[in-house]
Structure formats: structure tokens, C-alpha cells
Amino acid sequence: MGNLTNALLDRLQRDFEITEITQRNPRLTTFKVDKEHAETLVRELRDRESYTHLNFITCIDYIEDGIFTLVYMLQNYDLNCMLGVHVDIGRDNAEMTSMHTLWGQVWTYQRELREMYGINFPGSPRLEEDFCLEGWDDIPPMRREFDTAAYSTEHFGHGERSTEEPRQYMKVQFYPNRGGDEK
């Protein structure tokens, strides 16, 4: 880790009380910051420290501890190094400050995290729009307690299969109130 990054981390410790600083490899350092300081910290890294590229935002579900760890991966193109900003939030009524004003793709990540983990980002654009899952009504599927095999068995079954005449079946689907009468 270069002296510059060490100096930066010292300052972040002082100003934002970051903890659990870990050098994962020569190009990647991660640390944890409180939810309250996260948005200001990320903005400062972008505006003042040249961490201008957002690689991704994701979430790790630590169900045993009752927390989600949000990860904001930021890249500094001048130094070719990355900082992984970790933010812990509670799993119950999970909510995080929206950062959609910082990068153009953030609202998409937040929309995905709402759908897949049930995390709310108040103020984030189009948050309620479906991302991948149309009409999903179960628990958010990337949560650890979601059982894919059980869901599959319950919804799609593995018993006897049946078939329908495709054209007639689709007519009923399209015009359910008219018993499949397209006219």
C-alpha cells in the first residue's frame, strides 16, 4: 500500500472513524464505516481523492449476525487501486442512504438491491420498478433464508405433468374475462 493511501486511510480514520481496515491484495483495501458517514465519505473519495470510478455496489447477507454488509467498490485510475467501503445495516427494515446523485448507474444497483435483498433507499429513482423479477411476491430471493429448491417445488412442482393446446391456452391467458374469446 502506497504512502498516499496510508495517509488517506489515517485521515479517514480521523474524520470518519473508519474501522476494520484490511489490505486484501496490493491493489485492494477495504474498511468499514458507519451508515451515517457513508454517503459523505464516498462523496469525498470521489470528489477529493480521485476515486472516480464506481466498480459496483453489492450486498453480503450475514444472517447469523442480523446484518447486511453493503459494499461500495471505488477505483482510483491514477493509482490503479481500489477501496472497498463496507457499510453494515440491520436486516430488519433494512434501509440505506441513496447515493444516486453520485454516479449515473447507482440507482440501478439500488433498484436491484431492493428487489434481491429488500433494502430500501429512500429517494432513489424508479426504486419500485421491477428489476429482474416481474411480479415477485415472495421474500427477496437473495436473502439467505430464501430456499430456491423449496420455492421451485412449491411453484413448479415435480409431480405429474400436464399439457394444454397452446393456442387455446394463450387465448384464455390474454382474454380471461371473455373465456378466451378474442372477439
Closest alpha carbon to 142 in 42, 81, 70? 70
Contacts with another protein, 78-97, as mask; x by CB under 8 A: x-x-x-x-------------
Using DSSP's 3-state secondary structure scheme, residue 183 falls into: coil
Cβ–Cβ < 8 Å for 63, 42 = no
Decide: is 10 part of the binding site for another protein (CB under 8 A). no
Decide: is 39 part of the binding site for another protein (CB under 8 A). no
Decide: is 54 part of the binding site for another protein (CB under 8 A). yes
List, in order, residues 6 or more apart from 30 with CB less than 8 Å away: 20, 21, 22, 24, 71, 83, 84, 85, 86
Q: Which three cell numbers stand for residue 64?
A: 447469523
Decide: is 122 part of the binding site for another protein (CB under 8 A). no
Considering only 50, 67, 118, 180, the residue that binds another protein (CB under 8 A) is 50
Which residues would be at the binding site for another protein (CB under 8 A)?
4, 22, 24-25, 27-28, 30, 46-50, 52-56, 58, 60-61, 71, 73, 77-78, 80, 82, 84, 100-101, 103-108, 125-126, 130-134, 141-142, 144, 146, 148
